[in-house]
Amino acid sequence: MSNIPESVQLGKNTVIEEDVVVGENVVIGHNTVLLQGTHIGDDVSIGSNCVLGIKPGVNQRMRKTAQDNQNLMIESGTRIGHLVSIYSGTKIGKGVFIGDQASIRENVSVGPDSVIGRAAIVELNTTIGKSCTIQTLAYVTGDTTLEDEVFIGPCVSMSNDKYMGAQPFSLKGPHIRKGAKIGNNASLLPGVTIGKDTIVGAGSVVTKNIEENIVVAGIPARKIRS
């Protein structure tokens, strides 16, 4: 086990591998596993039955990801719920909240004060800005960018493969500009850009780029007002 400060509270059956760094006043729940290379800042709270610092695994049909940094970095003041899985090579900023059963893959960056809701999934190579909200059961596909203060409603779904594996395509998720808001159950197709401060109505299907400062809705999503 790595050196753990006396101020740390450890639950029962906690596993902490070698080369794990844990800051002051950290709380770790029962049955949680901190894998090699995980770095935890001060005043972080981690729930029970979490696994942090997972190394990605693939088969021959899955793409291999290059990781510049193999460590999972969780900065100070972050709160992590129960049954959460976070992969190596990811950085979680200060004051982030991660709900129960959420999953965050490798090479992801989550900016300070953002919220990842209960059972939300954030796939690999994704950038999430500061003060974003990703609500319950939302699916953020790989290779996606969310700028600052973006709101993603419950059960929103995104995709990054235009041809669903049927022919070559450079994987690219949506790019959602600062302050945009995506309503419940909306679907965003690969590579679309949502403009700054634009609102996408609940249940919409976004098939092409959307300009800034408008409201869109429908299937496919169309402008309904400025």
Is there a domain that residue 6 lies in? yes
| Confidence check: pLDDT of 185 > 80 | yes
* Mean pLDDT in residue range 33-57: 96
Task: Give the pLDDT band of residue 66 (cuts 50, 70, 90).
Answer: low
Question: Do residues 6 and 48 share a domain?
Answer: yes
**Residue 72 phi, psi (nearest 5):** -90, 125
Domain presence at residue 114 = no
Same domain, 173 and 78: no
109, part of any domain = no
pLDDT at 169: 76
Give residue 167's pLDDT: 80
Please check the confidence at residue 57 and state whether its pLDDT lies above 90: no
Q: Are 35 and 88 in contact (CB under 8 A)?
A: yes
- Domain match, 126 and 200 both: yes
Pair (223, 163) in one structural domain: yes
Stronger pLDDT, 60 or 155, i.e. the higher one: 155
Is residue 40 pLDDT above 60, yes or no? yes
Assess if residue 133 is contained within a domain.
yes
Q: DSSP readout, 4-33?
A: --TT-EE-TT-EE-TT-EE-TT-EE-TT-E
Q: Provide the token pair at 107.
A: 């090479």
Q: Which of 125, 174, 124, 169 is nearest to 152 (CA)?
A: 174
Given a cut of 70, is residue 62 above it in pLDDT?
no
85 shares a domain with 144: no
Question: Residue range 113-117: average pLDDT?
Answer: 98
Q: Are 89 and 125 in a shared domain?
A: no
**Cis before 56 (ω within 30):** no
Evaluate whether residue 110 is within a structural domain.
Answer: no
Confidence category of residue 168, pLDDT binned at 50, 70, 90: confident
Does residue 69 surpass a pLDDT of 80?
A: no
Instruction: Tell me the pLDDT band of 64, cut-offs 50, 70 and 90.
Output: low
Please report whether residue 102 resides in a domain. Answer: no
The average pLDDT across 177-185 equals 98
Question: How many folded domains does the chain comprise?
Answer: 2
State yes or no: pLDDT of 67 exceeds 70.
Answer: no
| pLDDT, averaged across the chain | 94
Query: Do 153 and 78 share a structural domain?
Result: no
Look up the domain containing 13 and give its range.
Answer: 1-54+70-94
The domain spanning residue 158 has which CATH number? 2.160.10.10
Residues 8 and 44 in one domain: yes
| List of long-range contacts for 23-26, beta carbons under 8 Å, 24+ apart | 23/76
224 and 125 share one domain: yes
